[in-house]
Amino acid sequence: MVDINREGRTNAVTVGVLSLAGGLCFATSFYGRQTPLIEYCFKPTEVKNPQDFCTPDKRYTMPVPFTSPEQQPANPKYQEDWQLPEHATLLRTIPPTNPHKWAWTLSSTVFFGLAYGLSKARERKLLEYLPQHREEVKSSWLLNRIRVSNHQQKVEYAAELDYQLWQFSADRAVRAKQLSMMSPQEIQVYQEQARLQAEAETRVITNSVEPAGLLKGQTLDDVTAPGDKLSGNEAIPFPGQPTIPTISLGLGVRRDNGEPIIITPDGISLASFMIAGKSGSGKSCLVQNLLCSMLDAGTDYYQFFVCEGKADYFQFKDSPHCLGYYSSADLNGSSEILQCILRVRGIINDRIKLFREINATNLAGYNSQRSPSERLPFLYLVCDELMNIFASSDEGQTTFDYLREIACLGRSSGVGLIFVDQRMKGTKNLNLAPIREQVAYAICGLVKGVETSELILGIKDAINLRGKGDFLVATDDDYFRMQAYLVENVGAYIQSDSDGTITDTYPVNNPQTTISLSANISNALSPEMEQALEWLRTHEGWYTAGAIRRGCRKLKEMIELSQVEQVIQRLVEFELVEESEGKYRGL
């Protein structure tokens, strides 16, 4: 493209110079006379007063006549008076002022011809360059878009890095302030707690990468021995089966590489699940597989609540792991399901209070400082087919807001959500997108319409699945297809679950009353709430809503101060912020 532009400029300059030269030559050809003139007058042969004759006003001019009389009639414009009059007196011959008019005219024609020829040659050359120029324009546009995108990413990365550096310096300043106010004994206790928490996190990471069990055969003789080979009618056990003790949850096998999909909770962030699919897609079998994995791990690791609209998990009701089973088919079943959801929400609040007492931030840090009998297990809330129950209820969206809070706030508390339903597109009064944003594993089986597939996965691929345990899984950093494990004999797991009974410390008939069912809950921790909470934690003392608004960028975007107060009141409800006389302080 550079060569094309250079050639174009050269051609334009050349054509301009030739046109200018042709114009100058053409203008010069109009100037002056090409033929000489003779000047004459009439004067008698004998005069007495010669001064009165041949004066300037009595002189005449005419072209030089032909010197050969026989050539005169050959001129088409021949006139008889072109000859010098007989009695005229020749005074002088006036030379021509522009004797080379013909040369200037010829030069002008040549210059204009060359300019015209170069212009036509340039047009033909541009037609030859057109395909190449079109491709170069496309590529240069694409490179420019990439350059702009890279610049935007660099700017965003620099801004994020600046924010992280500011956050690090702010946290460091707060930590230094806290340490300066502590006694040496308190500092020693704090260091010991930090060391224990780091050891617990390291232990969890180490355990998460250990294999669930060893394959048979440790030597070549053991490998070649025919007695330990699997026969054709033997089933391959999946992770979580009673023969392989583990705290992992087995989902299935990846179809792309055949690797098993095993989830090992670490106590730092517990994964939640959102499973969709029509009848026969394998949703219930997948959930039963997860529950059997929990039964196999023992009550020290897992407990769960079950809320369903059918009877797929009724056999888990009497398991020591099950803290409560509620079905919409029972009398007042819908009300009990709602109370169970509030009950789990209250458990999260109680665990957060326990964490604060020992300065722990998550379940792993809490359990590392407690004896085995005082440690808290992972807790899951299983919700199956709740759309039909709450679709026409006035409190439907409020209930689903509570479920989103459980999926969001329960991660560090060791409380997770397993949300299962056939249709996920929601209704006019229900919006499931906030729940989808908080789950770590979005799983979709065969569906009838594309709405559910687009909500869960963001694409329409789920309508092409085979069913019978064939699922597509979307995580924060991966997307794959899997074949779910199938538990053929659930009763064997329940029979092997002999860990004892669990004391129910949260009776259903006494739900948490601190959270109103009519409350307008928007999001568990919205970006505005997170920024306000972080600002309060980095600034000691009590502040009004207006001061908090001036210190937070996202709160400045709110037009009314009442909206800012609503955001802070949500933090007060979560017991993350303390209020006194219209002022607030971070906890």
- Both structure tokens of 222: 């053991």
Does residue 524 register a pLDDT over 50? no
Whole-model pTM? 0.47
- CATH code reported for the domain at 271-496: 3.40.50.300
Instruction: Give pLDDT, residue 332.
Output: 73
Name 410's Cβ contacts closer than 8 Å, sequence gap at least 6: 270, 272, 344, 348, 379, 416, 417
pLDDT per position as a tens digit, 118-176? 999 988 888 888 888 788 778 888 788 888 888 888 988 999 899 889 988 888 888 88
pLDDT per position as a tens digit, 465-503? 887 788 999 988 888 999 888 777 777 777 766 544 333
- Furthest-apart CA pair in the chain: how many Å? 165
Instruction: Give pLDDT, residue 227.
Output: 47
Mean pLDDT, residues 266-273: 83
Residue 531 or 359, more confident: 359
In the block, residue with structure tokens 């007063």:
49
Contact between 437 and 274 (Cβ < 8 Å): no
Does residue 218 register a pLDDT over 50? no
In the block, residue with structure tokens 């009701």:
317
Residue 47 or 314, more confident: 314
Instruction: Give pLDDT, residue 304.
Output: 93
Instruction: Give pLDDT, residue 501.
Output: 38
Most confident of 127-136, 400-409, 573-582: 400-409
pLDDT per position as a tens digit, 30-88? 988 888 888 888 888 787 787 888 888 888 888 776 555 544 556 565 556 556 777 78
Boundaries of every domain in the chain: 271-496, 527-586
- 551: annotated binding-site residue? no
CB count in 10 Å sphere of residue 231:
5
Instruction: Give pLDDT, residue 71.
Output: 47
Mean pLDDT, residues 319-348: 86
- 277: annotated binding-site residue? yes
Residue 273 or 217, more confident: 273
CA-closest candidate to residue 413, choices 358, 373, 364, 374: 364
Mean pLDDT, residues 172-184: 83
Does residue 335 register a pLDDT over 60? yes
CA-closest candidate to residue 383, choices 467, 302, 325: 325
Q: How distant is the alpha carbon of residue 98 from its chain centre?
A: 79
Instruction: Give pLDDT, residue 244.
Output: 32
Residue 548 or 240, more confident: 548
Whole-number mean pLDDT of the chain?
Answer: 78
Q: How distant is the alpha carbon of residue 46 from its chain centre?
A: 117
pLDDT per position as a tens digit, 219-259? 444 444 444 443 433 333 333 333 333 577 888 888 888 88
Share of the chain above pLDDT 70, in %: 81
- Both structure tokens of 112: 């204009």
Distance from the first to the final alpha carbon of the chain: 64
Instruction: Give pLDDT, residue 188.
Output: 82
The answer to whether domain 527-586 has CATH 1.10.10.10 is yes
Does residue 109 register a pLDDT over 80? yes
- 284: annotated binding-site residue? yes
- Residue 113 confidence class, pLDDT cut points 50, 70, 90: very high
- 491: annotated binding-site residue? no
How many Å apart are CA 6 and CA 426, to the nearest integer? Answer: 62
Give per-residue burial for 241-270: e unless 16+ CB within 10 Å, then b.
Answer: beeeebbbbbbbbbeeeeeebbbbbbbbbb
- Residue 514 confidence class, pLDDT cut points 50, 70, 90: very low
Q: How distant is the alpha carbon of residue 475 from its chain centre?
A: 15
CA-closest candidate to residue 573, choices 454, 428, 409, 365: 409
- 324: annotated binding-site residue? no
pLDDT per position as a tens digit, 423-450? 776 555 567 788 888 898 999 998 887 8
- Both structure tokens of 270: 């517990």
- 371: annotated binding-site residue? no
- 281: annotated binding-site residue? yes
How many Å apart are CA 225 and CA 215, to the nearest integer? Answer: 14
Name 357's Cβ contacts closer than 8 Å, sequence gap at least 6: none
